[in-house]
Chain A
Amino acid sequence: MKPHWQTWAEELKQEFPRAHSALLPLLHRIQTEEGWLSPETLADVATLLDLPVTTVESVASFYTLFYKRPVGRRVIHVCVGLPCALKGADALMHRLEAHLGIRQGQTTPDGAVSLFEAECLAACDLAPVAQVNLRYRGPVPPEAFEALLKEDE
């Protein structure tokens, strides 16, 4: 547990009428710093917010953006929703998989890139769209997949 987490927890507990609400924001903040949420981190969060560990683990397990395993420095979410699929999202995904040598849901062995399917990212006008560390990139035609592996323009 890092000392400043305590401060964060206190701040967030103050913000809401019920301290329980602080759970999601605190998980977000800590994940942003740690990259993912290990069982130990979840136990720490439970302590910080005075919640049962089961509650914290259960909540974390419900949401797809909370990573329960380590992820790469670059997390790519390729939208595979219907509107993106109509515009070639699957081909985009396959190109990435082939290039990176991993399947969706996995992380490259060097820890550089994680590749995930996303359900509709609410950016269907940019189809096929992806997010890199939650920043939108689109449209990304399948053949332009490498744009997702480059630093932001």
Chain B
Amino acid sequence: MADGQRYYLLRHREVPDIDQIAVYEAHEGYSALRRALKEFTPQAVVDLVKASGLRGRGGAGFPTGMKWGFLPNDGRPRYLVVNSDEAEPGTFKDRELIEHNPHQLIEGMVISAYAIGSHEAYIYCRGEFLHGAEQLRRAIREAYARGYLGENILDSGYSLDIHLYRGAGAYICGEESALLESLEGKRGQPRLKPPFPAVAGLYGQPTIVNNVETIANVPMLILHGAEWYRSMGTEKSPGLKIMSVSGHVRRPGNYEVPLATPLRTLIETYAGGVEPGQLKAIIPGGSSVPLLTPDQIDTPLDYESMMAAGTMLGSGGCIVMNDRTCMVAAAARLVKFYRVESCGKCTPCREGTYWMANVLERLEAGAGTDRDLELLLDLADNIGGKCLCPLGDASLGFMVSAIRHFRDEFEAHVREHGCPLGANRYDTVNH
């Protein structure tokens, strides 16, 4: 672990059993809530979040305070929905947060719901997160018992109920409108936008959807203030971010870093460096973003620098690949993910991911042709920007960048009828 590392969101690593409410309370737990309810008007919380510059941690990095400001003021009930559907390959921060420190999320939810004037909040928890759901369920029960939830919270006159809702295996339910459909008990297929959830969300009512990590940030904003938060990161990307590091590194795991920390520090210092072998490529922000090459390893981890480097910070899922990694196989695997997870509603994503996955598998198996690379790029062009929701586009980022940076490797697969690296064939695909 890097020297001088202080934990905020990942505080459970310092405080054993912080998932128990007594322990959580003994470590300043729910003091932010107390303060918020006593010293802040709802608007003041919104203003604080705006001032902090906190950006959504679910992937798109949309400024949270601004999103909250989109709620129409028309007296309809409002909902807060926390997106805990984390399923983007390479991303596993929300799981750690809910499994190990569920009260932090709940405290953040109460403050956020208070801020936006919601009296009913939902956590949409990925179906596979059985343990996480159990932890949340218990923590919610404890919070009710201590008066942090329910009627007249801490004698403030403010009331809130939180419901835990389990998904059942569908990545697309991380997309906010599909999530809302699922939360309404339907197939998780994205809705047309506009209207956006802030205007017509859950049950048609104004709804704010935020990521687990986003909401988990809120208590510390109350305790330490916007200025403190802004003292980390950059003007446009202030604060702390949890980066999930996986793949070929010595210490895979979640690391909480100030934004704008160089990618190199994350990989070499925190994650212990590449092992085995040498660095070949990095996916910095989850499977939906283009890769970075070793020469870009000094790029700062913030939204704007990543954009400038041709990729995105996304959800912070950093997948490190060593020089033994076959880029064709990696692309095939990722595109297959999207093929399996496409909801099937719109044509280009449904058919396009299927086709691309087929071509990539054929290439990988050594049965590719000269025309396949152009075909893939053209299919990507026919998918890109033409889908109903961002999933279709998300399936392209890695593949297109892999072809761009490692074209010769793709061509070698055609030429040599197989993988020049002799890499493992991923034949679990398509049984």
Q: Chain A: residues with CB nearer than 8 A to chain B? A: 15-18, 20-25, 27-28, 55, 58-59, 62-66, 77, 80-83, 85-87, 89-91, 93-94, 103-105, 117-125, 127, 131, 134-136
Contacts and interface: CB of A to CB of B under 8 A. Distances in A.
A119 B340 contact: yes
Complex A-B, nearest 10 residue pairs according to Cβ-Cβ distance, in ascending order: A124-B246, A23-B185, A63-B168, A64-B169, A65-B169, A120-B89, A83-B246, A134-B130, A20-B185, A125-B252
Nearest to A89: B428
Interface string B72-103: 00000000000000111111101100000000
Please indicate which of the listed interface residues A55, A82, A94, A118 has the most CB atoms of chain B within 10 Å of its own CB: A82
Please indicate which of the listed interface residues A77, A87, A118, A119 has the most CB atoms of chain B within 10 Å of its own CB: A119
A105 to B, nearest CB: 6
Contacts of B254: 125
A142 B42 CA distance: 53
Contacts of A104: 428, 431
B337 interface: yes
A107 to B, nearest CB: 14
B79 to A, nearest CB: 9
B366 interface: no
A136 B131 contact: yes
A21 B186 CA distance: 8
B185 A24 contact: yes
11 contacts: A20-B184, A63-B167, A66-B168, A82-B247, A82-B319, A86-B321, A90-B428, A104-B431, A122-B86, A125-B92, A131-B128
B252 A119 contact: no
Interface residues of B, number: 61
A2 to B, nearest CB: 21
Interface in B327-353: 329-330, 333-334, 337, 340-341, 343
Contacts of B252: 83, 124-125, 127
Nearest to A117: B428
B190 interface: no
Contacts of A82: 89-90, 247, 287, 319, 330, 333-334, 337
A104 B428 CA distance: 8
Contacts of A136: 131
Contacts, number: 160
B183 interface: yes
B128 A125 contact: no
B29 interface: no
Given A63-B167, A85-B330, 6 more contacts: A24-B165, A63-B188, A66-B168, A83-B246, A86-B325, A135-B131
Given A104-B431, A117-B428, A124 B317 contact: yes
B394 to A, nearest CB: 13
A103 B431 contact: yes
B5 interface: no
B187 interface: yes
B25 interface: no
A91 B319 contact: no
Contact of A85 (B127, B184, B187, B333): B333
Contacts of B319: 82-83, 86, 124
Interface in B163-210: 163, 165-171, 182-189, 203
Contacts of B427: 90
Please indicate which of the listed interface residues B171, B188, B428 has the most CB atoms of chain A within 10 Å of its own CB: B428
Contacts of A28: 127, 166, 168
B244 interface: yes
B362 to A, nearest CB: 18
A25 B287 contact: no
A131 B94 CA distance: 18
A93 B427 CA distance: 10
B246 A125 contact: yes
Nearest to A77: B128
Contact of B89 (A65, A81, A105): A81
B86 to A, nearest CB: 5
A114 B431 CA distance: 15
Contacts of A77: 128
Contact of A59 (B88, B129, B185, B330): B185
B134 to A, nearest CB: 10
Contact of B129 (A87, A93, A122): A122
A21 B246 contact: no
Please indicate which of the listed interface residues A28, A55, A62, A93 has the most CB atoms of chain B within 10 Å of its own CB: A62
Given A25-B165, A59-B185, A93-B428, A134 B287 contact: no
Contacts of A127: 246-247, 252
B424 interface: yes
B244 A124 contact: yes
Contacts of A89: 428
Interface string B243-277: 01111100011100000000000000000000000
Contacts of B89: 81-83, 119-120, 124
Please indicate which of the listed interface residues A16, A63, A85, A135 has the most CB atoms of chain B within 10 Å of its own CB: A85
Nearest to B168: A63
